[in-house]
Structure 1
């Protein structure tokens, strides 16, 4: 009975950690383009943080934000660990899908000019709110297609870009990837993070490394195996694809890189 209670307590604690990534923040909705509005959830430990970190989750991208933050996709790597940025003194922004794509978006939309217009509107709103802060666009899995789209169309839109578990291989010939990105990494700050044990067919580490090397991006390859036994979640958040079990280390490395520190080997 004692063992059962301990196990139950651990499960309840884990559920709490993943269920409430942020504590206090503000839901902001604004027009992003004709016929569409964009919602973001903003939380900041100060009025002028060093960095404003803008998070783009994976498939399907829809967070269904309300005044408490994300109500869906809470298991996504970036969403479940969003409070990391607050704890380190940076502002964090959760990005929902636009109103005309409320159920979710596919990778083809993420590479579109409409999606870029939404990102432009988000950055403009954040520049207005945090005029002295730098802005980083961070995507994971399919979210890297949104970030890559912005990077490709206007690499000056943000001060840094981070692509974690980037979508670089088209599954069965369908969907857009960012394998064809052509951006000068010696001019713009871009970091690629891959898990050498990522079993998702769309984001193998070798392809992430190739993307980084071909563009002279910074590259961080980590290794973890937690969650790799479940083949049904190979491209999900609770697997090496979602950096399960090493979230703190991965995000600390990204944080350090944003603040000018060298990447730590893991």
Structure 2
């Protein structure tokens, strides 16, 4: 799972996390309760990943993460990225071998060019062959991830024969910024409902 923002979750040697507000980070126990093993990468030396997630160098990191996940033999592998992290998930999926992934989930994907100078369209989405779920919250007011862009994102994935859009509504706002984690952009207050719907889609790819 790939968090948004800078990507820095502040992972300590003891497993503690300093920056745990991001959707995929704060909901990891909800995924565990649904019997999913979760892998969330941190950055190296607090490197800011903005502008790097669609790069070839970061794709190689994702390739290593996929290899590690497959070696763990916990089951089929999905890539899930939220906001800026959706760029990383798309990049990894675009370069993964055809049988490597059970699916990819892009939630509130950055689709409008902003300060990071990259979007999900920078990650060659046309090269993704795995099943794709695009999650878009109608209540999201993040200027670089407007929910109406879900359809253009789906249309760009010409290499996949299975692309679906999950539209949700709701969420509360605690963050000061509309693109903050504790806002509709990060499904704050509707986490369980969103995860239930995403996991239901994932289950269909395991049959």
TM-score by length of 2: 0.87
Which of 155, 162, 170 aligns to 2:113? It is 170
Q: How many Å separate the matches in 2 of 1:149 and 1:85?
A: 23
Q: How many Å separate the matches in 1 of 2:87 and 2:156?
A: 17
Which of 9, 22, 39 aligns to 1:93? It is 39
Task: Mark the runs of 5 or more structure 2 residues left unpaired by the alignment.
Answer: none
What is the DSSP-based 3-state SS (H/G/I as helix, E as strand, rest coil) of the residue aligned with 1:133?
coil
Matches within 5 A, 1:255-266: 255-260=199-204
Call closer, same or farther: CA 1:60–1:147 in 2, change over 3 Å.
same
Matched, 1:211 2:153: yes
Contact 2:91 2:125 in 1 (8 A): no
- The count of residues paired between Structure 1 and Structure 2 equals 199
Call closer, same or farther: CA 1:149–1:202 in 2, change over 3 Å.
same
Call closer, same or farther: CA 1:175–1:155 in 2, change over 3 Å.
farther
CA drift of 1:217 comes to: 1.7
The match for 1:200 is: 142
> 1:37-61 deviations in whole A, cap 9, x for unaligned?
xxxxxxxxxxxxxxxxxx1111110
Q: How many Å separate the matches in 2 of 1:209 and 1:72?
A: 35
Aligned-pair RMSD on alpha carbons?
Answer: 2.1
The match for 2:102 is: 159
Contact 2:90 2:125 in 1 (8 A): no
What is the DSSP-based 3-state SS (H/G/I as helix, E as strand, rest coil) of the residue aligned with 1:108?
coil
Task: Mark the runs of 5 or more structure 1 residues left unpaired by the alignment.
Answer: 1-54, 262-266
The match for 2:133 is: 191
What is the DSSP-based 3-state SS (H/G/I as helix, E as strand, rest coil) of the residue aligned with 1:56?
coil
Q: How many Å separate the matches in 2 of 1:59 and 1:88?
A: 26
Q: How many Å separate the matches in 2 of 1:194 and 1:69?
A: 31
> 1:17-37 deviations in whole A, cap 9, x for unaligned?
xxxxxxxxxxxxxxxxxxxxx
Call closer, same or farther: CA 1:115–1:214 in 2, change over 3 Å.
closer
Matches within 5 A, 1:1-266: 55-97=1-43, 99=44, 102-130=45-73, 133-154=75-96, 156=98, 157-171=100-114, 175-179=117-121, 181-183=124-126, 187-215=129-157, 217-227=163-173, 232-260=176-204
Contact 2:87 2:109 in 1 (8 A): yes
Q: How many Å separate the matches in 2 of 1:155 and 1:207?
A: 27
Call closer, same or farther: CA 1:166–1:155 in 2, change over 3 Å.
farther
> 1:87-108 deviations in whole A, cap 9, x for unaligned?
11121112111x3xx2233332
Greater RCO structure (CA 8 Å; 6+ sep) = 2
CA drift of 1:179 comes to: 2.8
Q: How many Å separate the matches in 1 of 2:102 and 2:141?
A: 31
